[in-house]
A and B are shown apart, each in its own frame.
Chain A
Amino acid sequence: KQEVTQIPAALSVPEGENLVLNCSFTDSAIYNLQWFRQDPGKGLTSLLLIQSSQREQTSGRLNASLDKSSGRSTLYIAASQPGDSATYLCAVRGVMDSSYKLIFGSGTRLLVRP
């Protein structure tokens, strides 16, 4: 059974810091991994999608890496801003699952202090 873990659960940093969010998963048989952002009480915004054959994806100040063999992904945020404050969720889609469902971690709550 696939399990996704995100560490740390919460993070508070001063504005301008570079930071890394971690995501680990127990079954390496995945189609892809997706990072999302969620503002309080809102839906999920897709940030980056990494296919199983890829090592990383970049979008602006965001860079996500994937090491499928070790079951790990990291989301790197450069030069953090107060507007980056949100919960960041990672999710994987398993190869052996015909429903193509996403399995989520519990998220990392990020606060960027001005």
Chain B
Amino acid sequence: DAGVTQSPTHLIKTRGQQVTLRCSPISGHKSVSWYQQVLGQGPQFIFQYYEKEERGRGNFPDRFSARQFPNYSSELNVNALLLGDSALYLCASSLTPGTPDAFEAFFGQGTRLTVV
């Protein structure tokens, strides 16, 4: 079975540009979360989506937005890129919330975004 897939794997953008990152969850998983990881730190929560609705948002500016599609895949959009947005962006999927085992998160390989 395919794991969580993210695209692209690497991306270089210029300050002020916009970027879209994509994530396909594990088959059968309906929850997708996005995390940002800067070098030397643990991942920081950005968004969580379940059944196409936003269920949580971390402490990130409105330049960050996301959505989930009917097939449970997801996109993360970042507008007006800043140098500080350079990071590894990780997508995680999990089963339907509600049972303890459903909370195990499985991560993709990430998208390395460099803003120059």
Interface residues of A (CB under 8 A from B): 4, 31-32, 34, 36, 41-46, 49, 51-53, 89, 91, 93, 97-107
Contacts and interface: CB of A to CB of B under 8 A. Distances in A.
Contacts of B44: 104
A43 B31 CA distance: 18
A104 B43 contact: yes
A3 to B, nearest CB: 11
Tell me the interface secondary structure of chain A in the complex: strand
B55 A99 contact: yes
B110 A42 contact: yes
Given A99-B45, A106-B41, A43 B109 contact: yes
B39 to A, nearest CB: 10
Given A93-B103, A100-B97, A101-B48, A107 B42 contact: yes
Contacts of A44: 43, 90, 92, 107
B33 interface: yes
B29 interface: no
Contacts of B43: 44, 89, 91, 102, 104
